[in-house]
Chains A and B, each alone.
Chain A
Amino acid sequence: MAKLIMTADDSASVRQMVTFTLKQNGYDVVEAVDGKDALTKLGSQKVDMLITDLNMPNLDGIGLIKGVRSSSLNKFIPIVMLTTESQESRKLEGKAAGATGWIVKPFKPDQLVAVVKKVLG
């Protein structure tokens, strides 16, 4: 059974790219347009992994990570955050909130797949 991964990003182009890449590699994907949308969906949907942007309207990535870690359904899933090189402090914040790993933007599809394989096994 294919693993289900959520991509939470307010950038449609990034979501599209992430979704396309993951589906190419045999994963199922559920999309969320921002943190709030993601947290709502994760409240009722069990997923195997979350890939989230940090800067999103409504609820940002940090808030989303904290929300997931304090939920029950997806409490222990791997969470990978998308960061940019100028966000070292945000990365630490994300780690503190409970992120598993990160991908630095810009990234190439195979880098994304490598990280997914790394945390998902």
Chain B
Amino acid sequence: MSSPQEQHIATYREEAGELLAELETSLLDLEENPQDSDLINRVFRAMHTIKGSGAMFGFDDIASFTHEVETVFDQVRNGKMQVTRALLDLTLQARDQITVMLAASAGGPPADTGRGQHIIEGLRELLPAVVHAKTTPVSELVKASETDSHNRTYRVRFRPIPEIMTTGTNPLNLLKELQELGTCETIAHFDAIPLLDQLIAEHCFIYWDIVLTTSSGIEAIKDVFIFVEDDCDLKIDLIDDGSVLDSDSSYKKLGDILVERGDLSPVEMHKIVSMQKRFGEILVEQGIVPASKVQSALVEQQQIRQVRQERTTAAPAAEAALSIRVPAERLDHLVNLVGELVTVQAHLTQIAGNRNDNEIISVAEEVERLISELRDTTLNMRMLPIGSTFSKFKRLVRDLSAELGKEIDLETTGAETELDKTVIEKLNDPLVHLIRNSIDHGIEIPDVRRAAGKPVKGIVRLAAEHSGDSVLVTIRDDGAGLDKERIRAKGIERGLITATSELSDKDIYNLIFAPGFSTAQKVTSVSGRGVGMDVVKKAIEALRGTIDINSTPGKGSLITLRIPLTLAIIETLLVRIDQSYFVMPLTMVEECIELTRADVQAAHGRHLAHVRGELTPYISLRSEFEITQNQPDIEQIVILSVAGKRIGFVVDDVVGEHQTVIKSLGKLYRDVRGISGATILGDGTVALILDPGLLMHSVLQVEQEQFG
């Protein structure tokens, strides 16, 4: 069984054969009656069918040859040419040529193309001068291959003529076809529909605004309307070309859209804008633009915004171009509000817990989850890369080293590490000081370095990296390192230590943080102007950070700053002593264990607890804060890791984790050691934020005074 295509071809051969026979008869008849228009039409139709059907079934040579003959007879048919003997001769020859070509396609001897060419030239000579065969055999329905994949958004206003449906066009099909091209919002306008008694039922008065986001290109949109382009007002505007650069996700104002669409005049727009109210509402209220048109413009606005937003999330590479500038104070305000929200949420959670109502509890949990997300997002918004600060130090190092006759390079890493904006600001001065110290005291002059076998050029390395909820900022130099003996001597001189004190290296290094301590042999303009390391330490502690020094004689020093990511809100552990509440940074908490009276007695008054065979010192916060009432039989020890040591803090009760919004205590309480701030609990109670590091130090100092 042959394929359908082969069957069509066979039918065509048969049909063409019949047509050629008919053509011969007609031509001969035409010779007798050259004015007979019926005969002329018959000849034309025969040629037309041979050509048209031939092209459809792959007889391209026959089609193009016949086309030439048909062109001539079209002129005859239109009265622009007379039937002449010469024409008939050539046409008969052409008819014979087609017969040969048809036979050749069925396996017969090939047609003489030279002869065919000769016939065509002869026919062309007969044509009136102006007529030339048009050769644009391109099917209009072949879709333009505008297949570049990114989405563009178009606004289409389609307003058919009222009679559109009387010629068989169904606008619904066109709309559906359009909607299938991509993401599409269609808004119908019915303000032109007449009242019932004036309505011509078969006329269409509805028109449409369509906002279409598609990757198919404008040609595809035009193709949808190809049959009706003369039967409608069609306006296609590219309103978003899909390029990442054009990603201002705010898009146009409503008024601008309406003006662009011609639904509103610019003058009217300005008048309305000055009224300071929601633009669309006024337009509708005043009857300037119908509600449906305003809605339609709003739909466009919304769709573009959405498209652009999607693109924003899809193209993180373009992040920089997509950022917006917001005044810092607005962010601060937002953080404050979130802080308040966290406080209120804590209250809600507490109430929900007390009510024991599952419904409220589940709502409270949901709120808690959302607020925690909101908090993280908000705090994230305040994050800036530390790099902006780093770049300032390059200049500092260059100028200072020149002044001191030293050769020093500053290397930085981790410039992209992000920290809270305020933290970065407050970190600036301590960093300047530390770098100055490294340049001044650390790095030797070139001669000394050369003598020590070091590269002449000294290096200061400034690095930042994330470490848990903190950022580690390190300043490392390859200088002489700290001079232990000199620090020790100075410490004794200043009465900070006794001559007999047994101190670890670390303890000695820590002496430089003592107020008024300066070991520089001469006071230079760079460091040693009375602003000592104690100021640096205070500044870092104000950021709830820690500072740590390491040094190797002859190799250099390393100063490590550990800075919390943010100042505003921290995760804490909430504890209680009698009626008072305290919180401590959750990141420091290692574990909680019980402390019974028996344990205390067994330790013979020493503040040491056995934790899995290890002796852990503890501080009783009760005695520290002089709270005497209602001491329970069983207390809790919260074991924290403070500066690498495990130390316990005894409290009555561990309440649980708490999101703490930090409130500063104000100037009056600035020097209270061991308390770094306060926070408000859900029920309005104030809880103090403990600073375990300082607490530990002050306890140690007191003990040293007592026993040392």
Interface size for chain B: under 10, 10 to 19, 20 to 34, or 35 or more residues?
35 or more
Q: Is B227 touching A111 in the complex (CB atoms < 8 A)? A: no
Does residue B12 face the partner (Cβ distance < 8 Å to A)? yes
- The 8 A CB mask of B187-213 against A (1 = contact, 0 = none) is 000000000000000100000000000
- A54-99 residues with Cβ-Cβ distance < 8 A to B are 55-57, 69, 75-79, 82, 84-86, 95, 98-99
Q: Is A78 touching B170 in the complex (CB atoms < 8 A)? A: yes
On chain B, the residues within 8 Å of A118 by CB distance are 173, 177, 227
A76-B8 contact given A11-B53, A86-B70, A106-B55, CB 8 Å threshold: no
A84's contact among B52, B168, B230, by CB below 8 Å, is which?
B52
The DSSP consensus for interface residues of chain A is mixed
Q: Is B202 touching A10 in the complex (CB atoms < 8 A)? A: no
On chain B, the residues within 8 Å of A85 by CB distance are 134, 136-138
Closest-CB distance, B349 to chain A (whole angstroms): 57
A104 to B55, CA, bound (A): 11
Does residue B74 face the partner (Cβ distance < 8 Å to A)? yes
A11 to B15, CA, bound (A): 7
On chain B, the residues within 8 Å of A82 by CB distance are 52
- A23-62 residues with Cβ-Cβ distance < 8 A to B are 49, 55-57
Q: Is A119 touching B168 in the complex (CB atoms < 8 A)? A: yes
Does residue B157 face the partner (Cβ distance < 8 Å to A)? no
A120 to B53, CA, bound (A): 25
A69 to B136, CA, bound (A): 31
A121-B168 contact given A10-B45, A76-B202, A103-B141, CB 8 Å threshold: no
- The 8 A CB mask of B146-173 against A (1 = contact, 0 = none) is 0000000000000000000111111011
Q: Is A115 touching B141 in the complex (CB atoms < 8 A)? A: yes
Q: Is A76 touching B57 in the complex (CB atoms < 8 A)? A: no
- B388-406 residues with Cβ-Cβ distance < 8 A to A are none
- A3-27 residues with Cβ-Cβ distance < 8 A to B are 10-14, 16-17, 20
Q: Is B57 touching A121 in the complex (CB atoms < 8 A)? A: no
Does residue B107 face the partner (Cβ distance < 8 Å to A)? no
Q: Is A120 touching B173 in the complex (CB atoms < 8 A)? A: yes
Q: Is A77 touching B168 in the complex (CB atoms < 8 A)? A: yes
A70 to B688, CA, bound (A): 92
A98 to B227, CA, bound (A): 12
Closest-CB distance, A116 to chain B (whole angstroms): 11
Closest-CB distance, B42 to chain A (whole angstroms): 7
Does residue B488 face the partner (Cβ distance < 8 Å to A)? no
- B49-75 residues with Cβ-Cβ distance < 8 A to A are 49, 51-53, 55-57, 63, 67, 70-71, 74
Q: Is A111 touching B166 in the complex (CB atoms < 8 A)? A: no
Partner-B contacts on A (CB < 8 A): 10-14, 16-17, 20, 49, 55-57, 69, 75-79, 82, 84-86, 95, 98-107, 111, 114-115, 118-121
User: Which 6 pairs show the lowest CB-CB distances between chains A and B?
Assistant: A106-B55, A100-B168, A78-B168, A101-B227, A13-B12, A121-B173
Q: List 6 A-B contacts (CB under 8 A).
A: A13-B53, A82-B52, A85-B137, A86-B134, A104-B140, A119-B168
